[in-house]
A and B are shown apart, each in its own frame.
Chain A
Amino acid sequence: MKNKIIILFVLVGCFAFSQEGDATKVTYKKRVLEGAEVDFLASYYKQDGVHSAVSGGIGSEKLTDFASNIVVAMPLNDDDVLTIDVGLSAYTSASSSNINPYNATGASGGRGGDDDDKVAVAGPFGTPWQASSGASASDVYTSVVANYSHSSDDRNFVWNADVAFSNEYDYTSVGFGGGIAKLFNDKNSEVSLKVNVYLDQWRPIYPTELHEYAKYGSNFLNSGFFNGVSVLDQNGAFSTSYLPSNFTSWTTSNRNSYSASFGFSQVATKKIQFSVFFDLLSQSGMLSTPYQRVYFADKANYYIGQSAYIPYYTDPSINSSRGVYQLADDIERLPGSRFKIPVGIRLNYYLNERIAIRTYYRYYWDNWGVTAHTTSLEIPIKLTDKFTFYPSYRYYTQGKAKYFAPYETHLSTEKYYTSDYDLSAFNANQYGFGLGYTDIFTNAKIWNFGLKNIDFRYSRYDRNDGLNANIVTFGIKFVEQ
């Protein structure tokens, strides 16, 4: 089948490149980009849920993220454009804070609110239902992408190349790629091909109890963090039997991603155009997340904290479950390769001078057993010649990966396992709106830059497994005069 797909795209490519050139001979060459353009973008994202992957499929998924980007596009000459995109994203996460949930002032110590039932304890304790104050509670993601593009004199052929770098506390990525696009049929049709490679590197951090086990071996309950700390069994009795023997540290920490994206777009009529996308994605290396706990159904349960809370461990009610944290049996284990095929189509219809209709559909398949459908609809409504209001709706549904199972249902004899609900079966509804201001004459100016566009956008995301999120985005664009 792969060969058939390749042959198909070779034929499409030959067809495209064999079309007659534009009837109009190039006598005047308009600059690809008249002047420099600067985009400032920022967003605030907030989510909550009850299926934390770090806590093995239960627990708070509270997360807030503030992200901003500056994108500068500079014309180097009539044909060439250099685009630099610099981004910064700072987040705080209850889920990732519980990589180490055991601290004196964190989840179980410094909480506010209803403290009526606080129980005095000497040792560390935690809860999957609240954030701890551990170092992993927050992080900053930085990224830089540089893209260089060149257009032919008749503007019917474009090639581009890009390099990318990003960094987090435990993750670094270097990427590069390039693409070509060919326009034909009087610029009514376009075929494109883009390839990208990302060479990523984890610096794995593990849940505290597993880190200690890896460090001290089978005597770890008398060493390091566990020295003087009581471990409880399911009945709340002290125990020395906890031994996460399934756990081993990762010996490889790289993750490589390769992608090839094919695109075809077509002006169908004076008011309709569409595009088709077809991607082939391959990943290899460490595709698991090293701090996501898994609890086995065939292994005894052990805890740190207050025994009174053990019977209510899976209860998200704050007062009934906040004084104890279950020790991991292992971290998630996923195969070292993954192959993904998404196919998408976008179709836009200009209904009249006030209303346009933007639609999108995607089918997704991968060899981990996930299939998914995505569809979205946006209807931009021109309120005036400068203001556009655009309500939007998106529906997403996916089947579960064959390696997913909920909290305490995997067996220790399985080869691969995860309790990350992002790989479970669910559907999600996202609805929102945007308000755009566009001044094509750029009358408002700052120095020699004119204000071209302001965009505000809000969306609400509801997943049927209990996760919900809100996101607000603001963008402003200036063009050099």
Chain B
Amino acid sequence: MKKIVAIVVVLVGVTSCNSVKEYDKQYINDPDMKLSARSSERYETTFQVYREAALGANGGKTGGGCGCN
């Protein structure tokens, strides 16, 4: 757990001062660069939640709402 805390601290500390201006974000704003799963991935995520013990930490559903693991 200490490693996780350290990683988060490092990530926040190192990167949050960086700044890319809006007019320089044409690459970042590309649809393929979205920091979320594609909407068409939702059904794959659903069957993975049923067939695997792990879930969550992907910005989406975090459990409950189904008789799954």
| B35 engages A265 (CB within 8 Å) | yes
Cβ of B44: which chain A residues have Cβ within 8 Å of it? 430, 457, 459, 471, 473
| B32 engages A380 (CB within 8 Å) | yes
| A455 engages B54 (CB within 8 Å) | no
Cβ of B64: which chain A residues have Cβ within 8 Å of it? 173, 175, 196-198, 200, 255-257, 259, 283
Does A463 have its Cβ within 8 Å of any Cβ on chain B? yes
Rounded to whole angstroms, the CA-CA distance of A59 and B31 in the bound complex is 43
| B52 engages A372 (CB within 8 Å) | yes
Does A72 have its Cβ within 8 Å of any Cβ on chain B? no
Number of residues from B at the complex interface, CB < 8 A: 54
Rounded to whole angstroms, the CA-CA distance of A360 and B35 in the bound complex is 10
Does A343 have its Cβ within 8 Å of any Cβ on chain B? yes
| A45 engages B20 (CB within 8 Å) | no
Closest A residue by C-beta to B69: A422
Rounded to whole angstroms, the CA-CA distance of A16 and B15 in the bound complex is 12
Cβ of A270: which chain B residues have Cβ within 8 Å of it? 20, 24-25, 27-28
Within 8 Å by CB of A41, from B17, B20, B42, lies: B42
Within 8 Å by CB of B59, from A271, A277, A423, lies: A277
Number of residues from A at the complex interface, CB < 8 A: 103
Rounded to whole angstroms, the CA-CA distance of A255 and B1 in the bound complex is 28
| B28 engages A271 (CB within 8 Å) | yes
| B31 engages A259 (CB within 8 Å) | no
| A45 engages B15 (CB within 8 Å) | no
| Also in contact, A143 and B65, with CB within 8 A (given A380-B32, A428-B52) | yes
| B5 engages A8 (CB within 8 Å) | yes
| B43 engages A168 (CB within 8 Å) | no
Rounded to whole angstroms, the CA-CA distance of A382 and B47 in the bound complex is 28
Cβ of B7: which chain A residues have Cβ within 8 Å of it? 276
| A281 engages B56 (CB within 8 Å) | yes
| A350 engages B28 (CB within 8 Å) | yes
Rounded to whole angstroms, the CA-CA distance of A70 and B61 in the bound complex is 17
| B58 engages A362 (CB within 8 Å) | yes
Within 8 A of B (CB), among A160-179: 164, 166, 168, 170-171, 173, 175
Rounded to whole angstroms, the CA-CA distance of A271 and B18 in the bound complex is 13
| A264 engages B11 (CB within 8 Å) | yes
Does A244 have its Cβ within 8 Å of any Cβ on chain B? no
Cβ proximity bits B25-48 to A, threshold 8 Å, 1 near / 0 not: 101101111111011111110111
Q: How far is the CB of B69 from chain A (nearest CB, A)?
A: 5
| A342 engages B55 (CB within 8 Å) | yes
Contacts between chains A and B (CB distance < 8 A), count: 230
Cβ of B47: which chain A residues have Cβ within 8 Å of it? 45, 47, 65, 461, 469, 471
Rounded to whole angstroms, the CA-CA distance of A477 and B40 in the bound complex is 11
Cβ of A166: which chain B residues have Cβ within 8 Å of it? 65-66
Of A98-106, A185-193, A212-220, A229-237, the stretch lying at the interface with chain B is A185-193
Within 8 Å by CB of B65, from A164, A388, A438, A461, lies: A164
Rounded to whole angstroms, the CA-CA distance of A186 and B28 in the bound complex is 14
| A187 engages B5 (CB within 8 Å) | no
Rounded to whole angstroms, the CA-CA distance of A266 and B69 in the bound complex is 32
Within 8 Å by CB of A15, from B1, B16, B21, B32, lies: B16
Rounded to whole angstroms, the CA-CA distance of A199 and B38 in the bound complex is 28
Cβ of A276: which chain B residues have Cβ within 8 Å of it? 7-8, 11
| B28 engages A267 (CB within 8 Å) | yes
| A185 engages B52 (CB within 8 Å) | no
Rounded to whole angstroms, the CA-CA distance of A45 and B47 in the bound complex is 9
| B52 engages A422 (CB within 8 Å) | yes
Does A75 have its Cβ within 8 Å of any Cβ on chain B? no
Residues of A within 8 A of B (CB): 1, 4-5, 8, 12, 15-16, 39, 41, 43, 45, 47, 65, 67, 69, 71, 141, 143, 164, 166, 168, 170-171, 173, 175, 185-189, 196-198, 200, 202, 255-257, 259, 261, 263-271, 273-279, 281, 283, 289, 340, 342-344, 346, 348, 350, 356, 358, 360, 362, 364, 366, 368, 370, 372, 374, 380, 382, 388, 390, 396, 398, 401, 420, 422-423, 428, 430, 434, 438, 455-457, 459, 461, 463, 467, 469, 471, 473-475, 477
A-B contact pairs, 14 of them (CB 8 A): A41-B42, A185-B16, A185-B17, A186-B20, A202-B67, A257-B62, A277-B57, A350-B30, A356-B30, A396-B54, A423-B53, A423-B69, A430-B44, A473-B44
Taking A259-B64, A270-B28, A388-B32 as known contacts, 13 extra A-B pairs with beta carbons closer than 8 A to each other, sorted by chain A number, are A8-B8, A171-B67, A198-B65, A202-B67, A261-B57, A267-B18, A277-B58, A342-B57, A344-B58, A380-B32, A396-B54, A455-B39, A473-B44
Residues of B within 8 A of A (CB): 1, 4-5, 7-9, 11-12, 15-22, 24-25, 27-28, 30-36, 38-44, 46-48, 50-59, 62-67, 69
Top 6 closest A-B pairs, CB basis?
A: A198-B64, A257-B64, A344-B57, A342-B57, A364-B54, A372-B54
